[in-house]
Amino acid sequence: MTTQNPTRLSPHAVQPTLSPLPRVRNIIAIGSGKGGVGKSTTAVNLAVALAGQGLRVGLLDADIYGPSIPTMLGLSGRPDSPDGKSIVPMRAHGVQTMSIGFLVEEDTPMIWRGPMATSALTQLLNDTRWGDGDDGLDLLVIDLPPGTGDIQLTLAQKIPVAGAVIVTTPQDVATLDARKALKMFEKVQVPVLGLIENMAQHVCSNCGHVEHLFGNGGGERMATQYGVPLLGSLPLALSIREQGDAGTPVVLSAPDSAAAEAYRQVALRLLEELDKRPRVRAEIGASLV
């Protein structure tokens, strides 16, 4: 990656009709075509790994119906609102974060129709004081809900996204849905920076035997078919789940583990692919450089 300052990222081009947000240089959407592929766990560990590179990183939980980011980051309570209008993001492990989970009781179901959910997403994005006191964010990672519905469409139409990342598992039933997510981003002119193959292999803690429980090579085949990079493969490891439930992502709790190293390598590959995108001048929004 070639940037003038390795700790500050340049803003990169977004959808043709939009401009980067004033205090968020780049928005990266993490999506999947189906649930159960570990997308939120991946988003959390990637955000922490990116912050570990010296970047100013935020994480927006866009899953209005099933927010899980507060638990995975070990956060509770309600965020402050100094003026009664804007919200100060919560902070954990070097990452600023916002979620509807901070604003409702933990067991309260969000029984909202699509327009209400999409309105909540845009409010969470626009009313949060991202990078307040830190000269803005370099990256805001948005953890999308699974599927290709109202929230994803709102993101494509109203939120300036520098790139999207698709999370899948190797088996065919997962990559079939991941293909739909990839094609959706292409149709709405959001560049897909790459794929992440999650739960790619399991290493037995007793004997070290490697098993591909969900098949082998599905992410690589999909990447080849659609001409997008495979950013990396992540293991299926008990520690990832345990540390996620405990609120301490494995990137921090076990930094020397193979799982943590895999997340860090994916984060670096993501930055490399983002760096290939056209840049824009921070002070004037959409002028390409």
Dump pLDDT digits (tens) for 8-55. Answer: 899 999 998 898 898 999 999 998 876 778 899 999 999 999 999 999
Q: In which residue are the tokens 């099933």 written? A: 66
Specify the pLDDT at position 156: 75
pTM: 0.88
Does residue 61 contact residue 101 with C-beta atoms inside 8 Å?
yes
Does residue 194 contact residue 28 with C-beta atoms inside 8 Å?
no
Specify the pLDDT at position 152: 78
Specify the pLDDT at position 284: 40
Contacts of 172 (CB under 8 A, 6+ apart): 215, 218
CA 49 distance to own-chain centroid:
11
Specify the pLDDT at position 194: 95
- As given in the structure block, the two tokens for residue 125 are 């994005």
- Long-range Cβ pairs for the range 187-190 (8 Å, 24+): 188/15, 188/153, 188/156, 188/157, 189/15, 189/16, 189/156, 190/15, 190/29, 190/156, 190/161, 190/163, 190/164
pLDDT digits (tens, 9 = 90+) for 238-261: 888 888 889 999 999 999 999 999
- As given in the structure block, the two tokens for residue 189 are 């002119």
Cα torsion angle, 142, 250, 198, 1, sign: positive
Does residue 42 contact residue 167 with C-beta atoms inside 8 Å?
yes
Q: Which residues of the chain have pLDDT under 70?
A: 1-7, 34, 105-115, 148, 172-174, 202-215, 218, 282-289
